[in-house]
Amino acid sequence: MKLLYSALLLSGLAGCLPTTAQPTPATTTAKRPIGPADVLRLQSIADPQVSPDGGWVAFVQSSVDVAKDKRNADIWMISWDGQQSVQLTNSPDGEASPRWSPDGRYLSFVSGRSNSSTPATPPSAQLWLMDRRGGEAKKLTDLKGELEDYEWSPTGKQIALVIRDKDYSDSAKTKIRQPYVLDRYQFKTDVKGYLDRRPAHLYVFDVEKKTLDTLTRGIQEESGPTWSPDGKWLAFVSNHTDDPDRNENTDLYLIEARKGATARQLTDWPGRDGAPMWSPDGKQLAYLRSTGSGNFLMYDQPVLALLSVDGTTIPQPRLLSLALDRPVRNARWAADGKSVGVLVDDDRRTHVAEYRVSDGQLTYLTSGDRAFADLETNPKGGWVTLMSEPQLPTEIYALDQAKPRRLTTVQDEFVAPLTMATVTGYTSKSKDGATVSNLLFLPPNTPATKLPTVFFIHGGPVAQDTYGFDLTRQVLAAGGYAVVGVNYRGSNGRGLEFTKAIYSDWGNKEVLDILGAADALVQQGTADPARLGIGGWSYGGILTNYVIASDTRFKAAASGAGSALQLTMYGSDQYIRQFENELGAPWKNVDKYLKLSYPFLKADRIKTPTMFMASEKDFNVPVAGSEQLYQALRTLNIPTQLVIYPGQFHGITTPSYQQDRLVRYQKWFDTYLKVSQSPLQAER
């Protein structure tokens, strides 16, 4: 579990009376196309947690505070029958990570509120406790470090905490920050910035005595603590190699939940072991193991494993999903302990499935063109999950019958006034014979013939476009475009070999796949070959650069958070392990780096007017990656523009910037693909 606090400064709490969920009233108001401003209306739902009695689901719902230009997160709960919805908090800045106490009486959450109305320094994240029967929440902890994770013990008397040591570099009385002094191999990462050597360790907090006991020490970091059903043991994840920065190995460990206890190693796979979950009888751990055993595992997929926890030797796990050849995640034990539920990514869809423990038989619980996210067990039987569809953003669903049963209706108000694109799948053949799966968004009320078409490419590369709701592509389609998502080689959901196909060979097979997807739409008459555009963010921006340096058919491009001169990314971005393990050291393999840098080194082949977009504080794909190719095109007098979002990391979080990006996409493609005025232009 990852805390949702990192992007929030939290304060304030107010209880609200329960309300009864009502169906959205029918309306005769004319519908309108979805537009960039609708990003400010979109609600976000996350982190569903089922109460111990199985009757309620707590979750985090966030909305945009336009005046403050930020998202505000509050905690709500919905009854299992979906009839009652209760807002539990209503603060100016939000709360995160709701968790039920084992007796169901309390709901804990993370907050950074201060006891003072004008604190001298920003408050740190602490645990707060709310009595479900009413009254104000009370601060439970007064931690000096940074809280990263927590979990209640089954007895309710203790809470396991993961705390990162306090950063004292800014503790001086002056406003001048101390210099960054770095000596780590992995010395930077997005959002966190420059990395010092403050570790994150495991602690146990006594709820009644308010005392904190240290369980682990040293240079290693711990994460993912989970209690055994008897409340005696904690399983957790750590990397105990000599220099954890230089590899991606993690193993499972077991420690007694008392001061002075010694941890015991449970797994020794050279790859990744993580996300442990105890079986209800306390005899097994379900967890996720990497398929590969190397020290670089980007092109990999998690496998569901079961491990017997007994004796002192390291047992061999059962690999339940290895033969499936699809990535699984969010492993959770069923309430009766007879099966383990997982999410399965499979060719543009994500579904909920169960593996029977006795014989490993797989049963899918969901079907259809949709995407599920998150999975939690109802102690009384069944599951709670998140699900979205092409024309419906994320809602909470119960899985206790033959099909998903919708609990929340948060998105009804968002959807009600809008017309949206229809979404269908199609396959294409690449020049080398590969079969590729794609998604096609068609603008509403528009004949699907010779449309201006934008290929909007997903990042990753190990990700996939699914039938879940996609705001960016919906907005582009509302402007009169056919919009295409291409699950190029390197994407997941098609098996491990499909994912690994681009290893050390960037900008080759993926480009063939994108061009093949374009050829198919042109041949069937949907896409106008004279009005093709391309864009994307992150690896989607990188592939945009590769494509326009390979082919001149695209008349407009929008490259977001991309790079072109890969040689200069070594040491500039956060992917040092990928460079070393996939490409080797630049001074030993300079030809390889130069080959993969062809969008910059052959920039004079580019004829496509291109808008480059980047975030000022991005350590994932630093802004220099966009600046360099922008400068090249500017020098070559190719129409170009550079847009940099101040103070943003790799993912843009400021709502006004999110809207601005959508507006700029639309304006750029409208300008060069010569589309007649759309409703979105009128909106601007």
Strand, coil or helix: what is 58? strand
Question: Using CA atoms in the order 537, 385, 96, 170, what is the torsion angle rounded to 10 degrees?
Answer: -40
* Low-confidence winner among 93-107, 158-172, 270-284, 466-480 (lowest mean pLDDT): 158-172
322 Cβ neighbours under 8 A, 6+ residues apart: 291, 303
Of 1.10.510.10, 3.40.50.1820, 1.20.120.1200, 1.10.3720.10, the CATH number of 423-679 is 3.40.50.1820
Quote the strand ranges of 190-270, DSSP E: 193-194, 200-206, 211-214, 222-227, 233-238, 251-256, 264-265
Q: Is the pLDDT score of 61 beyond 70?
A: yes
Q: Are strands 610-615 and 554-560 parallel, antiparallel or unpaired?
A: parallel
Six token digits for residue 450? 């010779």
Indicate the pLDDT class of residue 173, thresholds 50, 70 and 90.
Answer: low
Put simply, whether the predicted model's pTM sits higher than 0.85 gets the answer yes
pLDDT tens digits along 595-637: 999 999 999 999 999 999 999 999 999 999 999 999 999 999 9
Q: Which of 338, 339, 340, 317 is nearest to 330 (CA)?
A: 340
Per the prediction, the chain carries an average pLDDT of 91
Q: Is the pLDDT score of 663 beyond 70?
A: yes
Q: Is the pLDDT score of 21 beyond 60?
A: no
Strand, coil or helix: what is 522? helix
Q: How far apart are CA 492 and CA 324, in angstroms?
A: 13
What spatial distance separates the first Cα and last Cα of the chain, rounded to whole Å?
Answer: 40
The secondary element (H helix, E strand) that includes residue 483 is: strand 482-487
508 Cβ neighbours under 8 A, 6+ residues apart: 502
Is residue 39 within 8 A of residue 655, CB to CB? The reply is yes
Is residue 334 within 8 A of residue 296, CB to CB? The reply is no
Question: What's the confidence (pLDDT) of residue 5?
Answer: 33
pLDDT tens digits along 324-344: 999 999 999 999 999 999 999
* Low-confidence winner among 80-94, 203-217, 575-589 (lowest mean pLDDT): 80-94
Residue bearing tokens 């707590």: 58
Question: What's the confidence (pLDDT) of residue 25?
Answer: 47
Q: Is the pLDDT score of 170 beyond 70?
A: no
Question: What's the confidence (pLDDT) of residue 177?
Answer: 82
Indicate the pLDDT class of residue 279, thresholds 50, 70 and 90.
Answer: very high
List b or e across 17-28, with b for residues whose CB sees 16 or more CB atoms inside 10 angstroms. eeeeeeeeeeee
Six token digits for residue 101? 């106490």
Give the CA radius of gyration of the chain.
25
Q: Which of 207, 265, 203 is nearest to 240 (CA)?
A: 265
Query: Mean pLDDT across the stretch 637-646?
Result: 98
Question: What's the confidence (pLDDT) of residue 119?
Answer: 44
Strand, coil or helix: what is 130? strand
253 Cβ neighbours under 8 A, 6+ residues apart: 222, 235, 236, 237, 238, 263, 264, 265, 266
Is residue 174 within 8 A of residue 181, CB to CB? The reply is no
* Low-confidence winner among 17-26, 69-78, 210-219, 574-583 (lowest mean pLDDT): 17-26
pLDDT tens digits along 258-271: 999 999 999 999 99
Distances (CA, A) of 36 to 39, 316, 408: 6, 52, 25
